[in-house]
Structure 1
Amino acid sequence: MITTVAQTRLKAALPAALERITATPGVYAALWCGSATRGEATPYSDLDFHALVTGGLRWRSNFTVDGVPVEVFHNPVHKVRAMFAEEDAATITMFAQGRPVLPHPELGVLIDEARTLYAAGPTPRPLTEAQRFHLIEEVMDGRGVLNQPIHSLLALSAANQAVDVLYAVNGWWEVKRERWPADLAARSPEVAHELTAVLVATDARSRQAALERLVTRLTGDLSYRDGGSGPEPVG
């Protein structure tokens, strides 16, 4: 029921938001995106849009309509394509899953391109030695404060970093953290279980053990290896 009320509230604000967007000089197309387009709105959700603009400038704007926060990303087509080429997960996902509310042929082409990219997935990025070293350091820092209240904060920060790397290594499109449990449950139930164990642990030892299982999924073990960066000139 909460979701239905939230969806209704956002949809009611949609015409007024779109009217303001279309009145913006240079705007000729608009895409509605975000949680509301997926039917996942909460009472705290906002309205998100991508607007195509003429010229060579890009900007972001935000305003409210009947108490509903609205965020609009204004970009010329060539900048959107540049973000596609950079595999910008947020932009590709929004265009792949969004709904055109101010249609235009160029917007339609971008949506098709985004859907193709989204279906293919991002280029996997193998774990680097620097990332491996940093994750192991995070685990060891957790062990060092196992009996201190700060442990929960360190463990959650380390889990956050580990999951970010897991998405990159596996070639999965990034999603917002609040969607991690559901997204990971579909992609890898084992990873979802390990992350949940870190989040819900009521004692530090259980939390640390869950963190170490999550990290070693990436690092293989917790042993240090020789490494480092090459020499670089300094200014």
Structure 2
Amino acid sequence: MPDAAQARLEAALPAVLERIRATPGAHAALWCGSAARGEANAHSDLDVHVLVDGDERWRENWLVDGVPVEVFHNPVRKVRAMFAVGDAATIAMYAEGRPVWPHPDLDALMAEARALQAAGPAPRPLSEQARFGLIDAVVDARALAETDDPLHGLMAGLCVHGLLPALFRARGWWEVKPQRWLSELWQREPAAAQDLQAVLARTDAQARQAALEALAMRVTGDLSYRESASARQRVE
């Protein structure tokens, strides 16, 4: 039985679909996002990908029966172009979405997205310059923890926002939105999930910092500084 938030979004779908079907050139629609997965909360919106004919793409935001709606209009070839460059969000939406206006083009794109999602992206090791930046941020957080500065929680959160995408890239996993980091880690690397859970839950700055450093070392290997240099760029 869907909860109130999920039921509210599902109730708005027929009106959303009616408006989509009236869009010139539209021929298919895919319901995506948390609500399509049955995970809606009071702050969720409706995300819909629409396939259109022609050479244009655009994005619209609606309000339907009080429900915020975001609609992405794309020709089929543009969706495939986003797949080709490894657009993780688009791949996830097409792999996990629910057709609400079926079409063979949509079936083909969903099959392609599921294959890409299953294969995962090529791992991208951390560059030495990126590693330096992550370590620098974690060491700055350590200084705040040592003085029990109340800003430590904020600094640790900022570090996590740098570390988690780097971890996903290095492991060869598709990146996900921050609200899915923990659930993805519990499935893929439970020890890293435990570290992240501790960073989020610990109220003591020293304990939070210890968890942050453990998480960081899963990405950087250790917290030692090494010599590195960026590529030289011409100044115009």
Same fold (TM over 0.5): yes
2:3 counterpart letter in structure 1: T
**1:230 shift after superposition:** 2.2
User: Per the alignment, in what secondary structure is the counterpart of residue 226 of structure 2?
Assistant: coil
Q: Report what 1:102 is aligned to.
A: 101
Q: Report what 2:83 is aligned to.
A: 84
**1:233 shift after superposition:** 1.4
After TM superposition, the structure 1 = structure 2 runs for residues 218-229 of structure 1, keeping only pairs within 5 Å, are: 218-229=219-230
Q: Report what 2:121 is aligned to.
A: 122
User: Per the alignment, in what secondary structure is the counterpart of residue 170 of structure 2?
Assistant: helix
Q: Report what 1:25 is aligned to.
A: 24
**1:159 shift after superposition:** 1.4
Matched, 1:113 2:104: no
2:37 counterpart letter in structure 1: R
Where does structure 1 differ by over 4 angstroms across 4 or more consecutive aligned residues? none
Matched residues, number: 234
Normalising by structure 1, what TM-score? 0.96
CA distance in 2, matches of 1:12, 1:43: 14
After TM superposition, the structure 1 = structure 2 runs for residues 114-193 of structure 1, keeping only pairs within 5 Å, are: 114-146=113-145, 147=147, 148-193=149-194
Q: Report what 1:9 is aligned to.
A: 8
2:202 counterpart letter in structure 1: A
Normalising by structure 2, what TM-score? 0.95
CA distance in 2, matches of 1:7, 1:175: 21
Cα offsets for 1:167-213 (capped at 9, x unmatched): 11111112221122211111111000000111111111111111111
Over aligned residues, Cα RMSD in angstroms? 1.2
**1:164 shift after superposition:** 1.1
Cα offsets for 1:120-150 (capped at 9, x unmatched): 1111111111111011101111122222222
CA distance in 2, matches of 1:230, 1:97: 39
CA distance in 2, matches of 1:120, 1:78: 21
User: Per the alignment, in what secondary structure is the counterpart of residue 3 of structure 2?
Assistant: helix
CA distance in 2, matches of 1:127, 1:150: 27
Structure 1: gaps (5+ residues): none
User: Per the alignment, in what secondary structure is the counterpart of residue 122 of structure 1?
Assistant: coil
User: Per the alignment, in what secondary structure is the counterpart of residue 45 of structure 1?
Assistant: coil
Identity %: 59
CA distance in 1, matches of 2:48, 2:126: 34
User: Per the alignment, in what secondary structure is the counterpart of residue 80 of structure 2?
Assistant: helix
2:17 counterpart letter in structure 1: L
**1:162 shift after superposition:** 0.7
Matched, 1:231 2:232: yes
Q: Report what 1:71 is aligned to.
A: 70
User: Per the alignment, in what secondary structure is the counterpart of residue 41 of structure 2?
Assistant: coil
Q: Report what 2:214 is aligned to.
A: 213
User: Per the alignment, in what secondary structure is the counterpart of residue 145 of structure 1?
Assistant: helix
